[in-house]
């Protein structure tokens, strides 16, 4: 899970809230990339997985002149420039909003650049550079995993579960964190120090319990499934707002010409998708009731659902119900658990969506 919001949420307390939510909820216990780890290592009992990607350009040659740049591989040209010739590195800032295509012509005027762009925004080439670093982290981790499996199989076959099943590790780290922040560490974390003070009293509980929600902001995991609209109940008269979206054209977007890798230069994407292997003859169906593999897959999904919804029971040491107004319907006295029964909320008939005057689908790529 990567923290990438320091432009607007600079406070380390905000980052602590973000980290606590992703560590307490969900199916898996995350590896954290970036952001301020605060006291998380102690709070998890030494089970924190954390790293940071540094802005290091030591492997990229510095451009000192146009002549020198032309001697470098295309990927390194006009990327890191000496301050005396900084204007030579503008190619990475290209941000075309629309590339003309033969099958569709927009009826509305298209902006020449992405709205809100500032001079200090790094551009697509920098994003690609950082993305390659992220990919290398994953590849190194996979490489190490295969090494561990090879070592394990060398000792005993079949491979022991301890080499590939990490559920217990997740449970230990999450339980340590939950027990600490609801026990001896209660009220001491940076998150609580921020959200328990005026003008936000009593909001510190968001730092100690997993909260699940839905949003209209994109990108969203699982697209529209995790949107508010997808879970609205029909009103008593049967009304339910429909915000369907129809794409104006089909097919992939056209690559901006300036982004195209020149002939003869290294094309990482082309290398990644190139293969001389035939497509695997796999049965991709999951619903054959007479198939033992399908039955195993169903059991696996059942276990995943159980793990994703399992609630870690942690006692509330305060011994009191901290909510004003008594016990919430469906809740347990003296606990931080608050649930609504199925019929507790009766929908009205005035739902509407207003995001900059337009609606859109669940993914940022309008798929």
151 vs 362, which has greater pLDDT? 151
Residues 12, 34: contact at Cβ < 8 Å? no
Q: Using one digit for the tens of pLDDT, what is the confidence trace for 164-203?
A: 888 888 899 999 999 999 999 999 999 998 888 777 778 8
In a domain, 337, yes or no: yes
Sign of CA dihedral 99, 100, 103, 104: positive
Q: Using one digit for the tens of pLDDT, what is the confidence trace for 127-168?
A: 888 888 888 999 999 999 999 999 999 998 888 888 888 888
65 vs 234, which has greater pLDDT? 65
In a domain, 366, yes or no: yes
Sign of CA dihedral 218, 222, 223, 227: negative
Tell me the Ramachandran region of residue 12: left when phi exceeds 0, alpha when psi lies from -120 to 50, beta otherwise: alpha
In a domain, 230, yes or no: yes
CA nearest neighbour of 314 among 163, 197, 177: 177
Q: Using one digit for the tens of pLDDT, what is the confidence trace for 224-275?
A: 777 887 787 787 888 877 666 677 888 888 888 888 899 999 888 888 888 7
Residues 187, 177: contact at Cβ < 8 Å? no
Instruction: Give me the pLDDT at residue 319, please.
Output: 37
Q: What percent of the chain stands above pLDDT 90?
A: 25
Instruction: Give me the pLDDT at residue 356, please.
Output: 53
288 vs 8, which has greater pLDDT? 8
Instruction: Give me the pLDDT at residue 18, please.
Output: 92
DSSP conformation letters of 72-133:
S-GGGTTTEE-GGGGGGG-GGG---S---BTTB--SSPPPSS-TT--TT---HHHHHHHHHH
In a domain, 23, yes or no: no
User: What are the structure tokens assigned to 223, written together?
Assistant: 């697209």
Within 8 A by CB and 6+ apart from 210, the residues are 21, 24, 25, 26
Burial tier of 107 (Cβ tally within 10 Å: 0-12, 13-18, 19+): exposed
User: In the predicted model, what is the mean pLDDT of residues 59-74?
Assistant: 90
CA 127, CA 130: separation in Å to the nearest integer?
Answer: 5
In a domain, 302, yes or no: no
In a domain, 222, yes or no: yes
User: What are the structure tokens assigned to 221, written together?
Assistant: 């995991």
Counting the structural domains of the chain, the total is 1
Burial tier of 358 (Cβ tally within 10 Å: 0-12, 13-18, 19+): exposed
In a domain, 220, yes or no: yes
Phi, psi values for residue 104, rounded to 5°? -160, 135
| Domain hosting residue 354, numbered range | 213-270+331-367
User: In the predicted model, what is the mean pLDDT of residues 91-108?
Assistant: 84
In a domain, 339, yes or no: yes
Sign of CA dihedral 181, 183, 186, 190: negative
Q: Using one digit for the tens of pLDDT, what is the confidence trace for 113-126?
A: 877 878 777 778 88
Burial tier of 103 (Cβ tally within 10 Å: 0-12, 13-18, 19+): exposed
Average pLDDT, the chain: 78
> Is residue 330's pLDDT more than 50?
no
């Amino acid at each position: 899970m990567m923290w990438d919001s320091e432009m607007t949420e600079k406070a380390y307390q905000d980052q602590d809230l973000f980290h606590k939510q992703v560590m307490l909820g969900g199916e898996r216990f995350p590896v954290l990339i970036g952001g301020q780890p605060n006291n998380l290592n102690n709070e998890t009992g030494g089970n924190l997985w954390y790293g940071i990607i540094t802005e290091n350009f030591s492997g990229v040659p510095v451009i000192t002149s146009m002549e020198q740049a032309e001697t470098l591989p295309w990927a390194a040209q006009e990327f890191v420039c000496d301050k005396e010739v900084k204007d030579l590195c503008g190619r990475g800032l290209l941000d075309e909003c629309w590339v003309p295509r033969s099958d569709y012509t927009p009826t509305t005027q298209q902006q020449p650049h992405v709205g809100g762009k500032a001079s200090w925004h790094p551009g697509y080439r920098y994003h690609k550079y950082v993305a390659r670093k992220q990919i290398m982290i994953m590849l190194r981790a996979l490489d190490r995993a295969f090494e561990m499996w090879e070592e394990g199989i060398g000792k005993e076959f079949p491979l022991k579960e301890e080499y590939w099943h990490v559920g217990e590790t997740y449970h230990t780290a999450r339980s340590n964190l939950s027990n600490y922040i609801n026990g001896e560490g209660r009220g001491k974390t940076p998150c609580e120090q921020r959200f328990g003070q005026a003008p936000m009293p009593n909001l510190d509980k968001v730092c100690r319990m997993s909260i699940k929600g839905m949003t209209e902001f994109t990108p969203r995991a699982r697209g529209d499934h995790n949107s508010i609209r997808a879970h609205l109940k029909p009103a008593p008269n049967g009304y339910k707002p429909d915000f369907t979206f129809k794409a104006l054209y089909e097919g992939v977007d056209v690559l901006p010409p300036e982004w195209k890798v020149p002939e003869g230069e290294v094309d990482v994407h082309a290398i990644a998708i190139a293969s001389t292997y035939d497509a695997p003859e796999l049965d991709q169906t999951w619903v054959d009731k007479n198939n033992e593999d399908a039955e195993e897959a169903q059991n696996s999904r059942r276990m995943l659902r159980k793990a994703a919804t399992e609630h870690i029971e942690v006692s509330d040491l305060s011994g009191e119900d901290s909510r004003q107004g008594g016990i919430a319907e469906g809740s347990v006295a003296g606990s931080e658990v608050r649930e609504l029964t199925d019929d507790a909320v009766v929908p009205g008939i005035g739902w509407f969506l207003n995001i900059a005057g337009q609606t859109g689908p669940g993914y940022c790529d309008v798929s």
